[in-house]
Amino acid sequence: MIVAMKEGTSRSEAEQFAETLKKEGVAVHFSEGASRIVLGLVGDTSAVNGENLKAHHLVEKVIRVQEPYKRANRLFHPADTSVEIRTAGGTARIGGGTLGIIAGPCSVESREQIVDVARAVKKAGAAFLRGGAFKPRTSPYSFQGLGCGGLDLLLEVKKETGLPVVTELMGIHQLELFADVDVIQVGARNMQNFTLLRELGRCGKPVLLKRGLASTLTELLMAAEYIMAGGNDRIILCERGIRSFDNYTRNVLDISAIPALKRQSHLPVIVDPSHATGLSWMVPAMAKAAVAAGADGIIVEVHNNPEAALCDGEQSLTPGAFSLLMDALRKYADIEGKRVS
């Protein structure tokens, strides 16, 4: 950590300030320039709160050289982490050379719908079934999901198809209900719901953590760190589009987040082209781009009748379109030396 003192700070003032820093267990090096003194803090600076240092009247700037997350940091864990789920038929995997494909409807709407879609995506090659039971909706007057009934349908279909289930948790009060869910999804709007993250750190289940609409990559990794600090390192990071000034697509899918996150962290990174674009015709192009850029998987919406969907129909692929996409993704995975789960 680098601390630049304000112009005019004297050597003795800087030394006095350095004494308070040393109490936090770090060594302090001095660089005395023509116009200002710069301090280099050496040692474990994760205990030092840079924001607090800025409050000091002699401090001009505080700059972190090392990222503030540890467990999520590739520096301390060079090998790729993969997340694995034991299934009836074997093991479903995301990361570590396996492209994990998660597919299903935005919302569970009926037994018929979820069974139809589950069978179709399984046949096409998906390894996980997604489906919302509790839906976070911008309007209190929109369809809010089937709730517990939807969850029951998902678990029923899981039994029938053997597909592990990925579904979104809205709050810690629902944790018990999710006992048989395979991967718990944290939505973009909950990425910094720290109460929830802390609780998930204790639950031992894989967590699919979606990037907030205006969250930096560092903030996403700090959210992962919250979960990992509790002892749970089975985390899948998910890029799902960020807010921008253009509104042709619902959000801007930040494909560069894939190589950026994978360089900084050992955790697997997947992409949600359906929510990012909001446009079903654009989903295949963006799914292929994600794989080309190194993604460890895709989470994509598939509906047996998008025009009648209760939620997000305009972004859902038909089973036929999904099957064609899978054919393309297999070719891309092949070039990148990955297998499709």
Subset of 77-106 contacting its own copies (CB under 8 A):
none
Among 23, 55, 78, 337, binds its own copies (CB under 8 A): 55
**Per-residue x/- mask for its own copies, residues 176 to 195, rule CB under 8 A?**
-------------xx-xxxx
Give 140's contacts (C-beta < 8 A, 6+ positions apart).
Answer: none
Among 13, 68, 77, 162, binds its own copies (CB under 8 A): 68
Quick one: 129 or 257, whose CB is closer to its own copies? 257
Sheet with 27-32, strands from edge to edge, namely: 27-32, 37-42, 2-5, 59-63
Among 19, 51, 79, 179, binds its own copies (CB under 8 A): 51
- Tokens 């401090």: give the residue: 59
Quick one: 147 or 162, whose CB is closer to its own copies? 147
Q: How far is the CB of 84 from its own copies (least distance, A)?
A: 25
Is residue 7 close enough to count as binding its own copies by CB under 8 A? yes
Q: How far is the CB of 206 from its own copies (least distance, A)?
A: 19
Among 312, 325, 333, 338, binds its own copies (CB under 8 A): 312
188-to-90, 93, 289 alpha-carbon distances in Å: 30, 23, 21
Total interface residues for its own copies by CB under 8 A: 109
Is residue 16 close enough to count as binding its own copies by CB under 8 A? no
Is residue 247 close enough to count as binding its own copies by CB under 8 A? yes
Among 8, 149, 204, 259, binds its own copies (CB under 8 A): 259
Q: Which two tokens stand for residue 253?
A: 């899918």
Quick one: 42 or 88, whose CB is closer to its own copies? 42
Quick one: 52 or 91, whose CB is closer to its own copies? 52
Kindly indicate which of the ranges 78-86, 96-104, 164-172, 177-185 contains the residues binding its own copies, using the contact rule CB under 8 A: 164-172
Q: How far is the CB of 1 from its own copies (least distance, A)?
A: 9
Among 46, 123, 324, 339, binds its own copies (CB under 8 A): 46
Among 12, 19, 23, 47, binds its own copies (CB under 8 A): 47
**Per-residue x/- mask for its own copies, residues 264 to 293, rule CB under 8 A?**
------------xx--xxx--xx-xxxxxx
Among 198, 205, 319, 323, binds its own copies (CB under 8 A): 198
Q: Which two tokens stand for residue 305?
A: 């009748």
Phi-psi domain of 278 (left: phi exceeds 0; alpha: psi -120 through 50; beta: other): left
